[in-house]
Amino acid sequence: MAENLSTFISSKTKTVEISREKPTVIIGERINPTGRKKLLSSLKEGNYDVVRSDAKSQVEAGAAILDVNAGVPGADEEPILKDMIHALSEVTDAPLCIDTADVIALETALSIYEGKALINSVNGEEEKLESILPLVKEYDAAVIALCMDDEGIPPTPQDRFEVAANIIERAGKLGIEPADIVVDPLALTMGSDHNAGRIAIETIELVVAEFGVNVTMGASNISFGMPDRAFINSTFIAMSILAGLTCPITNPLEEEVNIAIQAADLVMGRDDFGMNWIKNYRDRQKNS
Amino acid sequence: MAENLSTFISSKTKTVEISREKPTVIIGERINPTGRKKLLSSLKEGNYDVVRSDAKSQVEAGAAILDVNAGVPGADEEPILKDMIHALSEVTDAPLCIDTADVIALETALSIYEGKALINSVNGEEEKLESILPLVKEYDAAVIALCMDDEGIPPTPQDRFEVAANIIERAGKLGIEPADIVVDPLALTMGSDHNAGRIAIETIELVVAEFGVNVTMGASNISFGMPDRAFINSTFIAMSILAGLTCPITNPLEEEVNIAIQAADLVMGRDDFGMNWIKNYRDRQKNS
């Protein structure tokens, strides 16, 4: 078993440590216009109030890092992403996860961001490795590494592990430490392959055993098309935390998943005397 | 990693296979007068109607094996346990888990039971090893092995593993196969030790990696004294299933824990096409 690594992500005034020895770090997913009409139309109007309120509500609900995505169909991402980062800096000290497939927008965002950002994402495609990894190095950022490459998403945990290993190796050649690589095993939909959950979890186990790196994942696709999705997502995220997931990308306003993360931390012995559990319980009582 | 073993428990007409390749087997815990006034008073009157109805309701709710405990304070367990087993044979073909600390009652129960019983339990205490293991062999039963011995319950996963290893070795000397040993790592209360959950899970991981044996556990003590216990129990049982738990002793009428078990099986890829999940969802809709 490799030693557990710590990944540090920071804003101008706050540093978040991601580590298997500490409580799970939630990366809030909501600042993303995909499928969110209200946010999308506000961004089209150059209005960042929804961005600001999404930041506040997610941090209040437990997000420690905020994903920020400026994917407005038909619009140039670069200025929007830049404005979003400025707007966020006004209302929160939570560090950001900069989520864009546009390399120009990414570089501009990194150049104005004050702190150590998490980049979402690189993968094993040659073109991505060549365009993203030098920016990780140049801006001393960390990066999410998706377990897919030019051949697509490998069907087996072993092959996904190989993609992660390749990204870590390529990053190492540029002087990027494994601590700055956060692996995403990719959780697909069990509706298409009933082994999708197991494959993601086994990928996490392999990557953690070999490299000790931190692990992120979006955990809601897994249940797409199934009934009672919240139960599946909660169970899947708790099991993934046991396997080694440390910083899921979720919506912290979804109470079931949030509670499952808190309970998993409690079970893992990462919540001394259950104090967080009891505090969160009291907060739920107050708000109900 | 050791190969996963199958444990077969049977009644006269039905065999249940416990295996890490199959859906989780629930051992229904309710036929136990401890803390259950109605059952206790009926047993005192020699009335087995509650036993019969508890059997039916637990099997309907998903129990595949039924624990049967005749612990009526101040009464002789032997005749009560015998009558309970007879009463159960009238209403269910679910195999039984015979739960008694009274060796005379245990031997009588085994002598009248038609099938391969699961004995609850042996542990690493010398006196228990000497009295229980020969009965396991003589009656071709399987047995739950608790990770405690004459020194008490070891505080570390490694020491609990050693207790299990010792029981498996002693059983082997009598010709009892590891497949007939079902290890219980012992889940204590997180209220007294906030690492209790992690210790139980790590014990499971060690025992499974070395021996491939099946694993049982009562998963409700863990949350004693904490608020929102159902969330903790559900999360803990799902994580334990990933670690290797195969046949928890639970109350299948507690919906949250039952759903967590079903979701964990789904995530583990043990529910082809999610058909059980969807069927159980429909049953919940019908009953709600």
Average pLDDT, stretch B133-155?
A: 98
Best residue in B217, B235, B240, B259 for a mutation probing chain A (most A CBs within 10 Å): B235
| CB atoms B232 and A266 under 8 Å | yes
Residue A138 has pLDDT above 80, yes or no: yes
Average pLDDT, stretch A174-193?
A: 96
What are the tens digits of pLDDT across the range B93-132?
A: 999 999 999 999 999 999 999 999 999 999 999 999 999 9
Which residues does A contribute to its contact with B (CB < 8 Å)? 190-191, 194-195, 197-199, 201, 222, 226-228, 231-232, 234-236, 238-239, 241-243, 259-260, 263-264, 266-269, 271-274, 277-278, 281, 284
| CB atoms A268 and B191 under 8 Å | no
Q: From chain B, pick out residues whose CB is under 8 angstroms from the CB of A201.
A: 242, 267
Residue A92 has pLDDT above 90, yes or no: yes
What are the tens digits of pLDDT across the range A33-71?
A: 998 999 999 999 999 999 999 999 999 999 999 999 999
- Band (pLDDT 50/70/90 cuts) for residue A287 is confident
Q: From chain A, pick out residues whose CB is under 8 angstroms from the CB of B1.
A: none
Measured between CA atoms, the residue of chain A closest to residue B240 is: A239
- Band (pLDDT 50/70/90 cuts) for residue B219 is confident
Average pLDDT, stretch B19-26?
A: 97
Measured between CA atoms, the residue of chain A closest to residue B271 is: A194
- What's the pLDDT at A133? 98
What are the tens digits of pLDDT across the range B76-92?
A: 999 999 999 999 999 99
| CB atoms B266 and A197 under 8 Å | yes
Residue A1 has pLDDT above 90, yes or no: no
Best residue in A267, A276, A285 for a mutation probing chain B (most B CBs within 10 Å): A267
Q: What is the count of residue pairs from A and B with beta carbons less than 8 Å apart?
A: 115
- Select from B186, B177, B180 the least CA-distant residue to B146: B186
- What's the pLDDT at A178? 98
Q: From chain A, pick out residues whose CB is under 8 angstroms from the CB of B266.
A: 190, 194, 197, 232, 235
For helices B255-267 and B275-287, give the axis angle rounded to 10 degrees.
Answer: 160
Residue A70 tokens read as 């400026």
| CB atoms A239 and B264 under 8 Å | yes
- What's the pLDDT at B206? 98
Q: Which helix (H) or strand (E) holds B206?
A: helix B196-211
Question: What residue ranges define each of the domains in chain A, with the CATH number in brackets?
Answer: 7-287 (3.20.20.20)
- Measure in Å the smallest separation between the Cα of A286 and chain B Cα atoms: 14
Best residue in A20, A204, A228, A235 for a mutation probing chain B (most B CBs within 10 Å): A235
| CB atoms A226 and B274 under 8 Å | yes
ipTM of the complex: 0.94
The DSSP code sequence of chain A is: -PPPP-EEEE-SS-EEEE-TTSPPPEEEEEE--TT-HHHHHHHHTT--HHHHHHHHHHHHTTEEEEEEE---TTS-HHHHHHHHHHHHHHH----EEEE-S-HHHHHHHHHH--S-PEEEEEES-HHHHHHHHHHHHHTT-EEEEES-BTTBS-SSHHHHHHHHHHHHHHHHHTT--GGGEEEE-----TTT-TTHHHHHHHHHHHHHHHH--EE--B-SGGGTT-SSHHHHHHHHHHHHHHHT--S-EE-TT-HHHHHHHHHHHHHTT-SGGGHHHHHHHHHHHHH-
Q: From chain B, pick out residues whose CB is under 8 angstroms from the CB of A198.
A: 267-269
Measured between CA atoms, the residue of chain B closest to residue A258 is: B231
| CB atoms A195 and B269 under 8 Å | yes
Average pLDDT, stretch B268-280?
A: 93
| CB atoms A232 and B264 under 8 Å | no
- What's the pLDDT at B1? 84
Q: B140 vs A69, B9, B11, B181, CA distance in Å?
A: 63, 10, 13, 12
Closest residue to A201, CB basis, from B190, B242, B259: B242
For residues B182 and B7, the answer to whether their CB atoms sit within 8 Å is yes
What are the tens digits of pLDDT across the range B244-272?
A: 999 999 999 999 999 999 999 999 999 98
For chain A, give the mean pLDDT.
96
- What's the pLDDT at A192? 86
- Measure in Å the smallest separation between the Cα of A226 and chain B Cα atoms: 8
